[in-house]
Amino acid sequence: MEQPKNNFKLVTDKKNARMLLPNMLTLIGVCIGLTSIRFALSGEFHLAIIAIIFAALIDGLDGRIARLIKGTSKVGKELDSLTDMISFGVAPAFIMYFWKLNTFGRFGWLLCLVYVICVALRLARFNVSSNQEPSWRDNFFEGVPSPAGGILVLTPLIISLSGFDYVKINYDIIVPVFFIVTSLLLISKFPTYSFKKIVIQRKATIFLLFTIVLFFGLLLIYTFNVIAISSIIYLSLIPISFFHYQKMKKIHENDKIQDEDDLEDVL
């Protein structure tokens, strides 16, 4: 007797199947972001920081995986923004509020609200601008991206956990300053490196792999020290990215003028 065919399928379309993996990673990022708040509530701030770092790593992977396997979708894009809002907006604000900002009373809560609103505005602007045609400007973000902003506002807490605060640091001043500056950078149009289109020569690939392995090795051993140094390096790159952007903008404007002059000569 002929056996009946099993027509059960988890997904009915190959494209939908390709979208499963990046969307699952994004949802895992949501869970990790919410879990960081739970760690902060119980006073386990070191675990809360680690959770945010994992969320940032997942945020950097899901989009690249989606593009690699051609599994991008509008749902995934909106889901990614929602995840960023939770993991790098709400979660860092709550972590810092439970650690230090609650001692400021209403002003501390106001700083949290302002920061979260700025993250929301940043994500909304990114969703609108990401539909534009590719250009040299894709090498830069307008303002600080939300994952970087989430880690920047946590920098005072990271420094306190790293043991780098040999010099007496007044966190009552540093924490509000980091919140205000980061909030302004999020909604500003200050160009910052996106690191999306880095071209590595083939002969330098082995050195890149060694550097990545070394970085993650140090991250596992000296977790908060490495994160603190990385945050300081990123802050130092912001003015460099501004001057680099202005230089590239001037070059492309001159090229455009030259092309228009050549066209006029032909006509």
In tens, the pLDDT along 2-19 reads: 555 555 454 545 556 667
Is a pLDDT exceeding 80 seen at residue 259? no
Task: Say if 36 falls within a structural domain.
Answer: no
Structural domain total, the chain:
1
Task: Say if 10 falls within a structural domain.
Answer: no
Is a pLDDT exceeding 60 seen at residue 266? no
- Write down the mean pLDDT value for the chain: 83
Task: Say if 82 falls within a structural domain.
Answer: no
Task: Say if 207 falls within a structural domain.
Answer: yes
Res 6: pLDDT: 53
Task: Say if 37 falls within a structural domain.
Answer: no
Q: Among the listed ranges 35-44, 97-106, 210-219, 247-256, which one has the minimum average pLDDT value? A: 247-256
Between 15 and 152, the higher pLDDT residue: 152
Model confidence band, residue 59 (pLDDT cutoffs 50, 70, 90): confident
Task: Say if 73 falls within a structural domain.
Answer: no
Is a pLDDT exceeding 50 seen at residue 263? no
Task: Say if 24 falls within a structural domain.
Answer: no
Q: Which domain holds residue 110?
A: 88-266
Average pLDDT value for residue range 57-82: 78
Indicate yes or no: pTM above 0.75.
yes
pLDDT tens by residue, 213-256: 998 899 889 889 999 999 989 999 989 988 888 888 888 777 66
Rounded to the nearest 5°, which phi and psi values hold at 87?
-75, -35
Task: Say if 34 falls within a structural domain.
Answer: no
